[in-house]
């Protein structure tokens, strides 16, 4: 279960002066942030860079009490960082990294399914992929995603449904 | 001489007639050819939603669009519609649609105006289903004034659209025994689509006891007091409450229930085994459930996607915490 909104807000307020608050915030948010970045960048090191940059940006903010939704703010920041890194790097470079990483994986049952879903998500259109990841892994509501991605609620919902449909098709043996 | 004069007059007349004809033709030619009649260009008609009277200047407002969507859903018992709430019925800025899983959310969103905030709440029962229950409880089954005291114990039934249930108000002046009988009957018949207003808050109870207007039946029945405080916070009695209470009285039937559950469990396991044999492999999901390969549902896909999300490596974590230290001068644990 994600941390309560007000708890997250408390950690955000206290983190500059309180090490435990930062550690709690990290424990709660690092996984969804990393997943969002990884789905965009397909590269472990770059995704970690994006997460780090997002936290640094947060720490450099003069005020954090004006952040209404800490979860949405952090996921939006890490998404922006990942997109920035993506623009800097060439497509070929990224593909090579993915290939290397995939070889390292254990060929277990669970891995096989996780690989299949990761690959399927990777085949979605970028907007659909981000909406799906922010909702499923980031645990943001459609309204929060609409704010993060600067889209209307109806557009977010439509894209999400489209992503779901494509994933169902791909996972059940078809093409998107 | 006279003849000559006549000839002159005829000649002048002929010249005048010719001149008039010439002038008339000249004017006509100057005007150019008479244009053939061409149709006036017409504007593309504004699309008008169904059910509205066409009008040249008609532009539906967001509020009208919302009401049209609501009207359409309300009119169709199969639409999955269960309830609607808005901050302002005529000019809503925010609205809530309560919908069952059968509702076509995409179609609703397609027509929904962008400037009205929409929240969708998942519901189990459609409005029509709840309304049928409400009617049956209130009009047909229980509310028969003057016939039988036990049958008119139900004094009201209303639909709570947002929370998707029928609120049944029972007369709390009757004895605990009668109330319990009717409550059991209602829950056994209608399950979780009803909630019963059968308790009083402590304040209400105090007020009732202090009141001189209360009839004798209320205060004479001491058993009522116990029943009124069944839920002292004044909240409604739910199906879950009823089942958990009933559970303590039904120890004898528990054995039979367990046997049925065991039988069902064995059947499910057997089915899973057969499917596994047929399909070769099953997918293990994040929460330990298994899905037969090739038949992933949306929920299973989401569970897998959640499971497939990665974690920052230990090295990455160290770097982030070093950055924290650099920025703040503190070392997190």
Polymer length in residues for chain B: 333
Domain that holds residue A148: 107-176
Choose among A55, A44, A34: nearest CA to B325.
A55
Q: Is the model's pLDDT at A121 over the cut of 50?
A: yes
Q: Where a domain ends, among A49, A78, A104?
A: A104
Q: Is there a contact between B242 and B168 (Cβ–Cβ < 8 Å)?
A: no
Q: Where a domain ends, among B82, B98, B123?
A: B123
Answer yes or no: do A125 and A148 share one domain: yes
Q: Is the model's pLDDT at B286 over the cut of 50?
A: no
SS3 A6: helix
The average confidence (pLDDT) of chain B is 70
Answer yes or no: do B175 and B209 share one domain: yes
Answer yes or no: do A145 and A65 share one domain: no
The phi-psi region of residue A4 (left if phi > 0; otherwise alpha if psi is between -120 and 50; otherwise beta) is beta
Report residue B177's pLDDT band, with 50, 70 and 90 as the boundaries: confident
Give backbone dihedrals phi and psi of B292, rounded to 5 degrees, phi first: -70, 130
The closest CB to that of A117, out of B295, B305, B311, belongs to: B305
Could B296 and A171 be called an inter-chain contact, meaning their C-beta atoms sit closer than 8 Å? yes
* pLDDT tens per residue across span B65-90: 999 999 899 888 889 999 988 888 88
Q: Where a domain ends, among B191, B221, B249?
A: B249
Q: Is there a contact between A37 and A46 (Cβ–Cβ < 8 Å)?
A: yes
Contacts of B114 in chain A (CB under 8 A): 152, 154
Q: Is there a contact between B106 and A161 (Cβ–Cβ < 8 Å)?
A: yes
Mutate to test the interface with B, among A52, A98, A159 (most CBs of B within 10 A): A52
CA dist., res. A23 & res. B214, Å (int): 61
* pLDDT tens per residue across span B186-228: 888 888 899 988 766 556 656 656 654 444 444 444 445 445 5
Answer yes or no: do A86 and A116 share one domain: no
Strand partners, B197: B169
What is the longest distance spanned by two Cα atoms in chain A?
52
CA dist., res. B293 & res. A74, Å (int): 36
SS3 B259: helix
Q: Decide which of B286 and B310 is more confident.
A: B310
CA dist., res. B205 & res. B234, Å (int): 10
CA dist., res. B280 & res. B275, Å (int): 8
Domains in chain B: how many in total?
Answer: 2
Q: Which A residues, 35 through 94, put their C-beta within 8 Å of a C-beta on chain B?
A: 35, 38, 44-45, 47-48, 51-52, 55-56, 59-60
Answer yes or no: do B146 and B117 share one domain: no
Residue A151 burial (C-beta neighbours within 10 Å; 0-12, 13-18, 19+): middle
Distance from CA of B194 to the nearest CA of A (A): 29
Contacts of A137 in chain B (CB under 8 A): 305-306, 309
Q: Is the model's pLDDT at B26 over the cut of 90?
A: no
Q: How far is CA B131 from the centre of its chain?
A: 14
The closest CB to that of A19, out of B110, B323, B332, belongs to: B332
CA dist., res. B59 & res. B74, Å (int): 23
| Percent of chain B's residues with pLDDT above 90 | 12
| Residue of chain A minimizing CA distance to B309 | A35
Residue B150 burial (C-beta neighbours within 10 Å; 0-12, 13-18, 19+): middle
Residue B256 lies in a domain: no
Could B112 and A23 be called an inter-chain contact, meaning their C-beta atoms sit closer than 8 Å? no
CA dist., res. B104 & res. B101, Å (int): 8
CA dist., res. A26 & res. A131, Å (int): 22
Contact of A95 with chain B, judged by CB distance below 8 Å, is answered with no
Contact of A138 with chain B, judged by CB distance below 8 Å, is answered with no
Distance from CA of B306 to the nearest CA of A (A): 5
Answer yes or no: do A82 and A153 share one domain: no
Contact of B320 with chain A, judged by CB distance below 8 Å, is answered with yes
Q: Where a domain ends, among A104, A134, A167?
A: A104
Q: Is the model's pLDDT at B333 over the cut of 50?
A: no
Give the gyration radius of chain A's Cα atoms. 17
Answer yes or no: do A134 and A170 share one domain: yes
Domain that holds residue B181: 128-249
Residue B159 lies in a domain: yes
Identify the CATH number of the domain in which residue A38 sits: 1.10.1740.10
Question: Lowest-confidence range among A9-23, A27-41, B12-26, B285-299?
Answer: B285-299
Answer yes or no: do B132 and B233 share one domain: yes
Answer yes or no: do B152 and B169 share one domain: yes
Q: How far is CA A171 from the centre of its chain?
A: 21
Could B330 and A153 be called an inter-chain contact, meaning their C-beta atoms sit closer than 8 Å? no
Question: Lowest-confidence range among A51-55, A111-115, B62-66, B326-330?
Answer: A111-115
The closest CB to that of A114, out of B118, B307, B332, belongs to: B307
Domains in chain A: how many in total?
Answer: 2
Q: Where a domain ends, among B208, B228, B249?
A: B249
Give backbone dihedrals phi and psi of B50, rounded to 5 degrees, phi first: -60, 140
Residue B151 lies in a domain: yes
Identify the CATH number of the domain in which residue B116 sits: 3.30.300
pLDDT at B69: 92
Report residue B229's pLDDT band, with 50, 70 and 90 as the boundaries: low
Answer yes or no: do B156 and B214 share one domain: yes
The closest CB to that of A113, out of B110, B119, B283, belongs to: B283
């Amino acid at each position: 279960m994600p941390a309560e909104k007000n708890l997250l807000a408390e950690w955000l307020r206290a983190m500059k002066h309180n090490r435990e608050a930062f550690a709690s915030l990290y424990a709660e948010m690092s996984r969804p942030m990393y997943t969002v970045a990884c789905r965009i960048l397909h590269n472990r090191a770059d995704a970690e860079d994006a997460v780090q940059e997002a936290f640094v940006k947060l720490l450099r903010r003069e005020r954090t009490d004006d952040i209404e939704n800490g979860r949405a703010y952090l996921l939006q920041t890490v998404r922006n960082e990942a997109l920035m890194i993506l623009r800097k790097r060439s497509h070929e470079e990224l593909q090579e990294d993915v290939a290397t990483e995939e070889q390292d994986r254990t060929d277990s049952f669970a891995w096989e399914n996780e690989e299949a879903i990761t690959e399927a998500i990777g085949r979605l259109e970028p907007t659909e992929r981000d909406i799906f990841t922010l909702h499923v892994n980031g645990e943001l509501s459609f309204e929060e995603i609409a704010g993060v991605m600067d889209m209307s609620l109806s557009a977010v919902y439509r894209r999400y449904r489209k992503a779901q449909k494509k994933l169902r098709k791909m996972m059940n043996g078809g093409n998107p | 001489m006279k003849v000559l004069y006549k000839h002159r007059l005829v000649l002048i007349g002929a010249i005048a007639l010719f001149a008039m004809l010439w002038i008339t033709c000249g004017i006509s030619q100057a005007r150019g050819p008479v244009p053939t009649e061409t149709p006036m260009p017409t504007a593309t008609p504004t699309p008008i939603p169904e059910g509205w009277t066409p009008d040249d200047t008609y532009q539906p407002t967001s509020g009208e669009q919302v009401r049209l969507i609501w009207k359409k859903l309300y009119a169709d018992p199969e639409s999955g519609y269960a309830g609607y709430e808005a901050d302002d019925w005529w000019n809503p800025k925010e609205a809530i649609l309560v919908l069952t899983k059968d509702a076509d959310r995409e179609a609703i969103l397609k027509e929904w105006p962008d400037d009205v905030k929409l929240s969708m709440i998942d519901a189990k029962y459609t409005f029509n289903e709840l309304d049928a229950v409400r009617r049956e409880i209130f009009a047909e089954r229980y509310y028969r004034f003057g016939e039988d005291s036990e049958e008119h114990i139900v004094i009201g039934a209303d639909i709570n659209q947002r929370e998707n249930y029928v609120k049944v108000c029972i007369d709390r002046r009757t004895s605990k025994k009668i109330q319990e009988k009717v409550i059991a009957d209602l829950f056994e018949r209608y399950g979780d689509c009803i909630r019963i207003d059968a308790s009083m808050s402590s304040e209400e109870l105090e007020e009732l006891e202090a009141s001189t207007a209360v009839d004798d039946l209320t205060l004479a029945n001491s058993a009522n007091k116990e029943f009124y405080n069944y839920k002292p916070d004044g909240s409604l009695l739910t199906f879950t409450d009823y089942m958990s209470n009933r559970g303590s009285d039904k120890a004898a039937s528990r054995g039979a229930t367990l046997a049925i559950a065991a039988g069902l469990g064995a059947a499910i396991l057997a089915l899973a085994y057969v499917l596994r044999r047929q399909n070769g492999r099953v997918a293990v999901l994040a929460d330990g459930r298994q899905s037969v390969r090739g038949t992933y549902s949306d929920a299973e896909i989401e569970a897998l996607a959640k499971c497939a999300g990665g974690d920052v490596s230990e090295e990455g974590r160290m770097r982030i915490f070093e950055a924290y230290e650099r920025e703040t001068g503190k070392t997190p644990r």
